[in-house]
Structure 1
Amino acid sequence: MRVAMFGYQTWGHRTLQALLDSEHDVVTVVTHPKSEHAYEKIWSDSVADLAEEHGVPVIIRNRPDDEELFRLLQEAAPDIIVANNWRTWIPPRIYNLPPHGTLNVHDSLLPKYAGFSPLIWALVNGETEVGVTAHMMDEVLDAGDIVDQRAVKVEPVDTSVDLFHKTVELIAPVTIGALDLIASGQTEFTRQDRSQATFFHKRAEEDIRINWDWPAEVLERLVRAQTSPYPNAFTFHRGKRLEVMSAVVSEGRYGGTPGRVFYREGGAVVIVAGADARTGLNHGLAITRVRTEDGRELPASEYFTSMGGYLTPRP
Structure 2
Amino acid sequence: MTERYEAIVIGGGAAGLSAALVLGRARRSTLVVDAGEPRNAPAAHMQGYLTRDGTPPGEFLAEGRREIERYGVELVRGRAVDVVRDGAGEFDVTLADGRTVHARRLVVATGLADELPSVPGVAERFGRDVLHCPYCHGWEVRDQAFGVVATTPMSVHQALMVSQWSKDVTLFLHTVAEAELTDDDLRRLAAAGVSVMPGEVAGLVIDDDRLTGVRLTDGTVHDREVVFVAPRAVPRTRLLERLGAELRETPFGAYPVVDETGQTTVPGVWAAGNAMGFAEQVITAAGAGYRAGATINGDLLFTDLDATGRA
TM-score by length of 2: 0.32
TM-score by length of 1: 0.32
Relative contact order (C-alpha < 8 Å, sep 6+): which is higher?
Answer: 2
